[in-house]
Homo-oligomer: A and B are copies of this chain.
């Protein structure tokens, strides 16, 4: 990483912060330029419009997903199922650290940006896909502990669903309870999957001994 940020990087980071803290529509060009300490000439050298900048913001999130979100979890936690719950716990910490104002920046854009802007939604979907692909990879690492026939794609999207729905309700309620409640239900869901697989493995082993 270069010691000083380029103007382009400064503009993207300013937009990341402003779109996150106040939303895309509510953020004006003047605010972005002021926060980035850039003038409108350099803005239009790099970006065609605020819409174009949003594309780069979504690329930035996608590029940072692995190093910022997942790498620390992979370093700290070995158990693949616990890695999934460590990811969710990271969101819990963000909710608490921001005094409940946290919202998932991608989820927020998914609901805010009109569907006619297909290229933006393609990038939002790509962010969701990268998130669920990493969860799916954890599920793959725990394959022998899950019932055969478990649909990893489906289950990984369900984990994202739980995060997004939990974050949204925690924000409105200014309380961690709806998030915790949702994660606790997800934990029960996983526990039952793990128990079902363990029982099935025992039965197969016992059958194997008898044959």
Say whether B165 contacts A181, CB under 8 Å: no
Number of copies: 2
Smallest Cβ distance from A21 to chain B, in angstroms?
A: 8
Q: How far is the CB of A136 from chain B (nearest CB, A)?
A: 12
Q: Which residue on B lies nearest to A108, using beta carbons?
A: B111
Q: Nearest-CB distance from A12 to chain B (Å)?
A: 21
Residue contact B169 to A182, C-beta cutoff 8 Å: no
Of B99, B115, B181, the residue contacting A100 (CB under 8 A) is: B115
A116 to chain B, nearest CB (A): 8
Question: Is B112 a contact of A23 with CB atoms below 8 Å?
Answer: yes
Q: How many residues of A contact B (CB 8 A)?
A: 48
Question: Which residues on B sit within 8 Å (CB–CB) of A99?
Answer: 115
Assess whether A202 is interfacial by the CB under 8 Å rule. Answer: no
Q: Does A16 contact B (CB under 8 A)?
A: no
**Is A40 on the interface with B (CB-CB < 8 A)?**
no
| A60 within 8 Å of B (CB atoms) | no
Q: Contacts A154-B185, A158-B181, A185-B154 given; indicate if A121 touches B174 (C-beta within 8 A).
A: yes
Q: Is A25 an interface residue (CB 8 A)?
A: yes
A178-B131 Cα distance, complex, nearest whole Å:
13
Beta-carbon contact of B154 and A161 below 8 Å: no
- Report which residue of A101, A185, A188 has the largest number of chain B beta carbons within 10 angstroms of its beta carbon: A185
Within 8 A of B (CB), among A159-184: 160-166, 168-169, 171-174, 178, 181-182, 184
Do A178 and B161 contact each other (CB < 8 Å), given the known contacts A115-B100, A172-B124?
A: yes
In the complex formed, the residue of B with least CB distance to A118 is B174
In angstroms, how far is the closest chain B Cβ from the Cβ of A198? 15
Complex: A51 Cα to B62 Cα, angstroms: 34
- Beyond known contacts A23-B112, A189-B189: 4 more, CB 8 A cutoff: A111-B168, A128-B169, A161-B164, A161-B169
Task: List 14 contacting pairs A-B, 8 Å CB cutoff, sorted by A.
Answer: A22-B114, A100-B115, A101-B114, A101-B115, A110-B168, A111-B112, A111-B171, A121-B174, A125-B173, A153-B181, A155-B185, A157-B178, A162-B162, A164-B169
